Structure 1
Amino acid sequence: MPSILVLVFILQLVIHLINTFGAVTINNILWRIYNQLPTPASKTVAGQRQLKKQLLKLKQELDATSSQNEFAKWAKLKRQHDKMLEQYEKSKSSLESTQKTFDSTISALRWLGTNGLRMLLQFWFQKQPMYWIPKGWVPYYAEWLLSFPRAPLGSVSIQVWSVACLAMITLVSDALVAAVALAVGINAQGDEIQAKEKGNGEPMTMSASTEKVKEL
């Protein structure tokens, strides 16, 4: 059943990516995307940004007003500032509560769509072979391990296939990270060498010019 093989591999890949980038980072990205859509939260965010701009403008005007020479104007601006600040804090608190609910919902959906689906597949297909091993290729104890826990002897179970996919994905991921780090290190080293060569070349040119002046 190649479809199950591919599905398990994709699930393990998605789980690995989530663990690599972090659930908090993914939630923040989804929250920003959610705020770009025509939702109640996006309206709240837009109103909060506008309120923040007005609050900063009012704060600048308040700081530019003397509390001694222009007390009446200063007191009026102070009341407006405090009232607007209270509105901003309420809006911020409401938005934070909405974001917490959003994060909880996304986390639950993400778990159901990854680990929950993986556990369901492993339970549902635990007795079915993913593929068969040619007879005589491995000893009896290896056949037993590959078919663990309930797949037919001589086949590979979905649990073992999941572990194999995870191991392969981790190995390839580590290799890619090492390759990128090596490439960045080589580029940085090359730039450093070029900078040193350029720095060493300039004094030599100045020294040669100085010698010519001295000879003249």
Structure 2
Amino acid sequence: MGLKAFFHDLHTTRRLILISAFLFCTSIMVGWLSTGTIQSMLAQQMEGLGEVAQRLQNSEHPQWSFFVFIFFNNAIKCVLVIFMGAVFGIVPFIFLIVNGMVLGFVVHLQTDMGRSMYEVVVKGLLPHGVIELPVLIIACAFGLKFGINIMSTIGTSIGLKRKGTGPVWDVFMKQTLRVSIWSVILLLIAAAIESGITYRLLSQ
């Protein structure tokens, strides 16, 4: 479960990580430029998040409440998105697209409301996002890999692929477990930064 093994797992999945990063960045642009139905959908997402944020802000210990919510929300979603990738990679693909669009929409909305790009990105996103966003992309990449491996195994079982060319499942499941554990650890750090540093920067 060491860090060296974790980086090796990332190296072996580098192509899917790059594809996931491309999809995420493209989705950010779509969210930034969104109009009509897409904009309404994203606005509904933001309304729900706004209500949750308001309840957390009004709690007895806002920073602690934000930390607990952010950590468990992100950690559970990231682990689920890896293993639900078994459904042909559909869930991580949708997760990437939706989260990228929401991020692009939020940044655009905040700048339209008069906040500077520096305040939104550098103060509001960068401190925790430098950890959180790569973890999201990595989790989705492994979720996509899970789906690809499932399809490869099915292809082998029905004769579309030669036997012995499919995934080595014991190796992959060890990688998946290791990536899940490291994702949770990194998201714990990101949640601490977001509920601490980011919270204070945006409260100034």
TM-score after normalising by structure 2: 0.30
Please say which structure displays the higher CA radius of gyration.
Answer: 1
Greater RCO between the two (CA within 8 Å, min separation 6)? 2
